[in-house]
Amino acid sequence: MDASSARRDLEAWRAEFPVDPFAADGPLRRLVERSEMDDERRRLFETRMSGFARRVATEVGPAAARYEHRAHLPELVRYEGFGSRVERVEFDPAYHDAGAVVWDSGLVADSGTPGRAYEQATLLYLLSLEGEAGHACPATCTIGLARALRRRAATAVRDRFLPALLERDYSRAERGAQFLTEVQGGSDVGANTCEAVAVGDGTWRVSGEKWFCSVADADQFLVTARPVGAPEGTAGLGCFVLPRRIEGEPNGFALRRLKEKFGTRGLASGEIDFDGALAWPIGPLEDGFRTAVGIVLNTSRWLTAVGATGMMRRAYLEAAAYARHRRAFGRRIGVYPAVRATLASMKSGWLGNLHLWWLLTLLEDRIDAGNATDEEAAFHRFLVNTAKYAVSVRAPQVVRDGIEILGGNGTIEDFSILPRLYRDSIVYESWEGTHNVLVAQVLRDLGHLELVGVVADRLDALIARATSPTAAIVGQAAKEARAHAERSIDDPPFGALHFRGVLDRWLLAFQAASLLAAGPGTEEEAAGELLALQHLDPEHRSAADPHHAERIDAVLAGDADA
Ligand SMILES: Cc1cc2nc3c(=O)[nH]c(=O)nc-3n(C[C@H](O)[C@H](O)[C@H](O)COP(=O)(O)OP(=O)(O)OC[C@H]3O[C@@H](n4cnc5c(N)ncnc54)[C@H](O)[C@@H]3O)c2cc1C
C-alpha cells in the first residue's frame, strides 16, 4: 500500500461521519421510541433533534475546532482604551457563531417550560459530540439558574431576571453562571467565607473571592454567600443572583484572571473578587444551600453525565469508522480480534451510560413538571450523584481507547477531535463534584434517607424484564451489592474504604440490566451481556467463553460493516 492509498483511506474515514448524528444513533432512537413521550411530543422531538444534530456537525463542530485552538482562546479585557474598567471577556467570533446555533435550538429556552428534560438532555448530548465546545457549560449553568429562579425565587426577583435567560436569540439572551467554589474548598462548600450584607430594601451586598468561575463572561451570576451573623457551615449559606452590570458598569466585581485550563478551553473560567456587588436572594436565605445543591448543582450533575456520554459516543464513532478504513499488515484493523474487543468495550461503555442518563432524565422530566412520586424523587437523589460520578469516570477511559485505536494519529491535535475530548472529559470528572465526594454523598443519602430498598427494588424490576441467561449473573451481583451497601451504612469504617467499589458494581449491574431489558437479539442485549460477563461475573468466564467473539460481533452489529 502506498502513501496516496493510505491518505485515501483516511479521507474515507473522515467522510464517514454521519450527516445526521441523531438519525444514526439507533440505540438513542430506540430509547425515544420506548419512552413515555406521547406521539405528538415524540414527532416534534425527532424532527428537532435531527435538525440540531445536523447543525452541530456542520456549524458548531468546525467553529469549535477554531475557537478551541490555543491561538484563539478567550481573553480578558479589564480596561477599555480610555482606561475605564470593563471586566470583559473577548472571544473569537466563531465562538458566538456556535453560540447562536446552540441557543437557537431551544436547549436553554426550554427551561421556561416545566418538564422538557428529554429535549434538553438530548440536545446537550448531541452538542457534546463536539466536546464541551465552549457552550455546554454556559447552557447548563443558565438552565440551572433559570430552574432556581422559576422554582424558588420571589415573584419580583423571578420577573426581573428570568425572562432574559429564556431568550432564544443568542444576541439578546443573558447567560448564567454558578459560583460556589472558593480557594479554601470546592467540595467543602460549607467553608465559604463570601459575605452578604443586607441593604435594607430586600437587596444585599456581596463581598469576597470566588476561585473557580466558569462562564466568567455571564450576564447573571448565581453565588453562595453567608449573610452576616448566619451560622457556620452549609446551613448559613444564602443563594443570590447578581447581574453582571448595574447601569452599564461592572457590578462590584473584578476579574482577577482567566485560568489556563487543561480542557474545556473554549470556555472562559476565571477568578473573581466581589466587593459590595448588588445581589438579590433566590428564595428564602436559610434554604440557600438546598437551592444551590438541590436545584443548581443537581441540574449540572445530570447534564454533566449526559455530556460525558456524548463524548463517549463521538469517540466510538471516530474509532469504529477508523477501524473500518485503516489498514495495517495488509488488513483493515477492524478485523483484528483485539481491536474488535476494544471497540466492543467502548461501545458497551457508551451504551450503558446512555441508558443510565436516559433513566435519570425520565426522573428529571417528572420532577421538573411536578409529577414525580416520592419513590421517584428518592431514586433520583441516588441516581443523580451516582450517574455524574460513574459516567464521568468512564468517559476518559472510552476516549483513551479511541485514541489507542487511532494509534499515533490519535495523539495529534489537528488529526481528530479525540485529544480535545480526552481533556474535556477529564475536567468533567472534577467539576460538579469529585469522585470520592460524590460517592460519600451517595452513601450518606442511602443511610439517612433509607434508600437502599428503593434502589434495590428498581434494579430487581429491570432484571426481571431481561430474558438473557446472563441476567442471573446480574441478579447475583445486585444481591451482593445490596448486602455490601447495607454493611457500608452500618459499619462506617468499612463504608469509607469499600463503598466506592460497591457502588461501581451496583451501577454496572444497573447498566447491564437496562441493556439486557432491551430484548433478545439487540446490540444492547449483547452489550449488557458483555458488561455482565467482564465486570460482574465472579468466575470471570469471559476469558474462556467460546462465544466471546460472537458476542463482540453482536455488540458491533449495529454499525455498518463493523
Ligand atoms: C475547569 C473547571 C471549572 C470549574 N468551574 C466552576 C464554577 O464555575 N463554579 C464553581 O463553583 N466551581 C467550579 N469548579 C470547581 C469544582 O467544582 C471543584 O474543583 C470541585 O468541586 C472540587 O473541589 P476542589 O477543587 O476544591 O477539590 P477538594 O475539595 O480540595 O478535593 C481534593 C480531593 O480530595 C478529595 N476529597 C475531598 N473531601 C473528601 C472526603 N470527605 N472524602 C474523600 N475524599 C475527599 C476529593 O475527591 C478530591 O479528590 C470548576 C472546576 C474546574 C476544574
Q: Are strands 245-246 and 75-79 parallel, antiparallel or unpaired?
A: unpaired
Three-state secondary structure call for residue 209: strand
C-alpha cell recorded at residue 351: 451504551
Distances (CA, A) of 319 to 45, 174, 236, 402, 410: 28, 38, 49, 5, 9
41: Cα separation from own chain's centroid: 24
Domain covering 176-286, topology: Butyryl-CoA Dehydrogenase, subunit A; domain 2 (2.40.110)
Is 212 close to ligand 1, i.e. is its CB under 6 Å away? Answer: yes
Distance 460 CA to ligand 1 centre (A): 34
Please give the full DSSP string across 2-34, using - where no structure is assigned: -HHHHHHHHHHHHHTS-SSTTTT-HHHHHHHHH
Q: Residue 239: which H helix or E strand, with range?
A: strand 238-243
Give the confidence band of 39 by pLDDT, cuts at 50, 70, 90: very high
CA distance 329 to 324: 14
Give the confidence band of 50 by pLDDT, cuts at 50, 70, 90: very high
C-alpha cell recorded at residue 174: 443573558
Q: Name the residue at shortest CA distance from atom 16 of ligand 1.
A: 431
Distance 241 CA to ligand 1 centre (A): 22
| Residue 240, strand partner residues | 223, 281
The predicted pLDDT at position 560 comes to: 56
**Segment 345-388, tens digit of pLDDT:** 999 999 999 999 999 999 999 999 999 999 999 999 999 999 99
C-alpha cell recorded at residue 221: 451570576
Three-state secondary structure call for residue 180: coil
CA distance 545 to 531: 14
CA distance 540 to 294: 40
Which atom in ligand 1 lies closest to the alpha carbon of residue 214?
Answer: 8
The predicted pLDDT at position 541 comes to: 74
**Segment 87-138, tens digit of pLDDT:** 999 999 999 999 999 999 999 999 999 999 999 999 999 999 999 999 999 9
CA distance 241 to 280: 5
The predicted pLDDT at position 516 comes to: 98
Q: What is the DSSP letter of 130?
A: G
The 3-state secondary structure of 248-272 reads: CEECCEEEEEECCCCCCCCCCEEEE
Amino acid at 229: G
CA distance 548 to 529: 10
* CB neighbour list of residue 264: distance below 8 Å, 6 or more residues apart: 131, 132, 134, 137, 214, 423, 424, 427
Q: Residue 210: which H helix or E strand, with range?
A: strand 204-214
pTM listed for this prediction: 0.97
| Mean pLDDT for the chain overall | 96
Distance 532 CA to ligand 1 centre (A): 32
The predicted pLDDT at position 261 comes to: 96
CA distance 230 to 287: 12
Distances (CA, A) of 267 to 8, 273, 301: 35, 19, 18
C-alpha cell recorded at residue 149: 429562579
Is 184 close to ligand 1, i.e. is its CB under 6 Å away? Answer: no
**Phi and psi angles of residue 349, each rounded to the nearest 5 degrees, phi first:** -65, -50
Distance 344 CA to ligand 1 centre (A): 32
Which atom in ligand 1 lies closest to the alpha carbon of residue 436?
Answer: 47
Q: Residue 88: which H helix or E strand, with range?
A: strand 85-90
C-alpha cell recorded at residue 188: 467543602
**Segment 223-278, tens digit of pLDDT:** 999 999 999 999 999 999 999 999 999 999 999 999 999 999 999 999 999 999 99
Amino acid at 191: A
Amino acid at 269: S
Pocket test for ligand 1, best of 187, 242, 303, 497 (most atoms within 8 A of CB): 187
Kindly report, as residue ranges, where domains of CATH 2.40.110.20 are found in the chain.
Answer: 176-286
Picking from 110, 131, 132, the residue whose alpha carbon sits closest to that of residue 121 is 110
Q: Name the residue at shortest CA distance from atom 44 of ligand 1.
A: 436
How many of the other CB atoms lie within 10 Å of CB of 92?
A: 20
- Rounded average pLDDT over 32-54: 97
Is 342 close to ligand 1, i.e. is its CB under 6 Å away? Answer: no
The predicted pLDDT at position 561 comes to: 39
Pocket test for ligand 1, best of 175, 180, 212, 303 (most atoms within 8 A of CB): 212
Helical residues (DSSP H) of 16-92, grouped into ranges = 26-34, 39-55, 61-67
Q: Name the residue at shortest CA distance from atom 49 of ligand 1.
A: 434
**Segment 388-422, tens digit of pLDDT:** 999 999 999 999 999 999 999 999 999 999 999 99
CA distance 72 to 80: 20
Is 357 close to ligand 1, i.e. is its CB under 6 Å away? Answer: no
Q: Which runs of E-coded beta strand occur in 472-545?
A: none
**Segment 507-559, tens digit of pLDDT:** 999 999 999 999 999 999 999 999 999 999 887 777 778 888 999 999 999 77
CA distance 503 to 20: 36
CA distance 460 to 478: 8
- Rounded average pLDDT over 13-23: 96
The predicted pLDDT at position 562 comes to: 41
CA distance 467 to 472: 10
pLDDT at residue 46 greater than cutoff 60: yes
Q: Name the residue at shortest CA distance from atom 21 of ligand 1.
A: 186
